[in-house]
Amino acid sequence: MGDPVIRAEGLGKTFRTGQQDLTIFSDLAFEIRRGESVALVGESGAGKSTLLHILGALDRPTAGRVLFRGKALDGLDDGQLAAYRNREIGYVWQNCHLLPEFTAAENVGLPLRIRGIPSNKALKPARRLLKRVGLGSRLHHQSGELSGGEQQRVAIARALVSEPALLLADEPTGNLDERTGAGVMRLLLGLVRERGLAMLLATHNAAFAARCDRTLRFERGRLRELPGGAA
């Protein structure tokens, strides 16, 4: 594996509920290296999505810190955090969140358009990635004209168009049937290895978790690493 891409040090998250504090997790410490796929498993409500949001700078921890390539996220201002989210992180969610009025290629190119890249230039890598995920014939179709598996492949291409270092995938096969989900998982793992990405995959699927390089399990607000790729 390559150098560490993301590292958590003493990470904790507590929410205020009425007059009480609810601690989701505490004192988490781990790292994910370049080219490494790590599964994140645990019961619903254990904190998997919250942890992904913190790593992706969509939320802040209440304790500890996140370091991206050795630089602490809590030292970045709002503009730098926005650039981090746009350039360094690829997100794949259970719900694809595609814009229905956009074509597949326009959806994939959106992160580049947000960065200020003109449409004609943003569409070139978008088309290239859609061909890579097997949707070269669906470039001009809107999301409503695509199957669930095709929509998730569009979402994967969108997550990769900025050439991020870290891919955060939150139950990306949760809305798909078993066969389609397996295909999406094969694609994700192949792209991680091909592009030298670091990936953290939150999943309830033990078979998918076992295909990752490592597995981290939430247990009572802490993380335990399981041997091999076991889930």
Which residue ranges make up each domain of the chain?
35-57+77-226
Domain 35-57+77-226 carries which CATH code?
3.40.50.300
The answer, yes or no, to whether residue 230 has pLDDT greater than 60, is no
The answer, yes or no, to whether residue 63 has pLDDT greater than 90, is yes
Cα(168)–Cα(92) distance, integer angstroms: 6
Q: What is the CA radius of gyration of the chain?
A: 17
Mean pLDDT, residues 213-221 taken together = 93
Give pTM, 2 decimals. 0.93
Mean pLDDT, residues 146-158 taken together = 94
Q: 176 in helix, strand or coil?
A: coil
- pLDDT tier, 94 (very low <50, low <70, confident <90, very high otherwise): confident
Looking at the DSSP bridge assignments, the partners of residue 21 are 16
Mean pLDDT, residues 72-77 taken together = 95
What is the total residue count of the chain? Answer: 231
Q: Are 33 and 193 in contact, with CB atoms under 8 Å apart?
A: no
> What is the per-residue pLDDT across 113-132, written as a single tens digit (0 to 9) for each?
999 999 999 999 999 999 99
Provide the pairing of β-strand 89-93 with 198-202: unpaired
